[in-house]
Amino acid sequence: MTSPPGFDGRLDDRPDDRTWAGRLDRIRGRAPRLVGVARALFYPCALALVGYMGYQAARGSDLSTLHWAPLLLGCVAALIWWLSLALGWSFLAGESGHRQATKAWCQTQVARYVPGGIWAVVARATTVRGRVRDKVTAVTAENVIVLLVSLAVGGVWSAGYDLRWLPLALLAGAPLLVSRWLEKRTRITRRRVRRTAGAYAVGYVAYGITGMLVQLAVSGPGNVSELLHVAAASCIAWAVGLVVVIAPGGVGVREVVYVWLLHGIYPTSDLEAAALTSRLVTVLAELLVLAVVSWPGRGAADNPDPH
């Protein structure tokens, strides 16, 4: 009796399963490259979109009436946000000291704007002590925790405008739920996760204040509940930009989501102007902190010569 096609006498042989498994393996192997190509293609489109939004904002908004006091305060709040993110990373993986970990975080963050999408993560992973699993877990935990906390804080901010957003606040407890699992399998302890989540929470309170102050600078005084929703939209738009991995630094995505979430509350031109101004303010804060931590001579203080 002849065997059916594809059967070689072994009952546990499943060529179809192997074929699908092989395809999944190939997809997983190619995913980083595909994401990198998508980011490289998306980046010029995002820059064009941001440029168009700037053009529309300049046409529709009278920037000569910009309120400078809230804008300057927004810059201070942005500094607090950026320092809180750096401090959160130092809590999570800074075994060699908070100053060194903060410096490494600030320096590697610059690479997120480079098309390819993995350079900031790879560079930061190299600063983590331990095995490859510890390095990968640290950078993964960082992104997951900051995503959940930004959404949770956004939900709390928006509760003053619409209570339907409040359930997002429950996401803040998710990192604590998985911290025990992480502690058993990696160097990341529950205490580190709690401190990191706390630092990020302070950071996104500051980030929401930045959004409020910038919108206030562009549009002038407004309703308190609407300004709370502005703070929420800032945090939620940031989180969406993080999830859309083909957008380096969330460029284009965060601005569009911010305008969409606040559509009808403020004129579109004011929202576009505020979104772009917020981007400039946060980049300025990033560069200022980077300049301070990278100042010549600080490296010797961070790594004193044992001899």
Angle at 48 between CA 47 and CA 51, to 5 degrees: 85
Residues 20-30 have pLDDT tens digits of 545 545 555 55
Q: Is residue 208 part of a domain?
A: yes
Q: Where are the alpha helices (DSSP H) in 61-113?
A: 68-93, 98-109
Q: Is residue 20 part of a domain?
A: no
Is pLDDT of 296 > 50? Answer: yes
Mean pLDDT within 63-91:
89
Residues 266-282 have pLDDT tens digits of 998 899 999 999 999 99
Please count the structural domains in the chain. 1
CA dist list (Å): 294 to 79, 159, 209: 16, 40, 27
Q: Is residue 84 part of a domain?
A: yes
Tokens of 177: 């739920």
Mind giving me the DSSP string for 5-42? Answer: TT--S-TT--HHHHHHHHHHHHHHHHHHHHHHHHHHHH
Q: Alpha carbon 160 to chain centroid distance?
A: 24
**Domain membership of residue 262 as a residue range:** 34-295
Specify the higher pLDDT residue, 298 or 216.
Answer: 216
Task: Tell me the β-bridge partners of 263.
Answer: 266
- Torsion 202-206-211-213 (CA) sign: positive
Helices 132-158 and 224-243: crossing angle in degrees, nearest 10, is 160
Could you tell me which residues come within 8 angstroms of residue 54 by beta carbon, excluding any fewer than 6 positions away?
Answer: 272, 276
What end-to-end distance do the CA atoms of the chain give, in Å? Answer: 82
From the number of C-beta atoms within 10 Å of its C-beta (0-12, 13-18, 19+), residue 276 rates as buried
Q: Is residue 10 part of a domain?
A: no
Is pLDDT of 306 > 90? Answer: no
Q: Residue 160's pLDDT band (boundaries 50, 70, 90)?
A: confident
Q: Residue 95's pLDDT band (boundaries 50, 70, 90)?
A: low
Q: Is residue 18 part of a domain?
A: no
Task: Give long-range contacts, CB 8 A cutoff, 24+ apart: 164-170.
Answer: 165/232, 168/236
Is the separation of the CB atoms in 114 and 251 below 8 Å?
A: no
pLDDT at 114: 65
Residues 171-200 have pLDDT tens digits of 988 888 888 877 777 778 888 889 999 999
Q: Is residue 245 part of a domain?
A: yes
pLDDT at 190: 86
- Torsion 74-76-79-80 (CA) sign: negative
C-alpha span between 263 and 112 (Å, rounded):
29
**Residue 218 one-letter amino acid:** V
Mind giving me the DSSP string for 171-235? Answer: GGGHHHHHHHHHHHHSS--HHHHHHHHHHHHHHHHHHHHHHHHHHHHHH-S--HHHHHHHHHHHH
Q: Is residue 65 part of a domain?
A: yes
pTM: 0.80
Q: Is residue 253 part of a domain?
A: yes
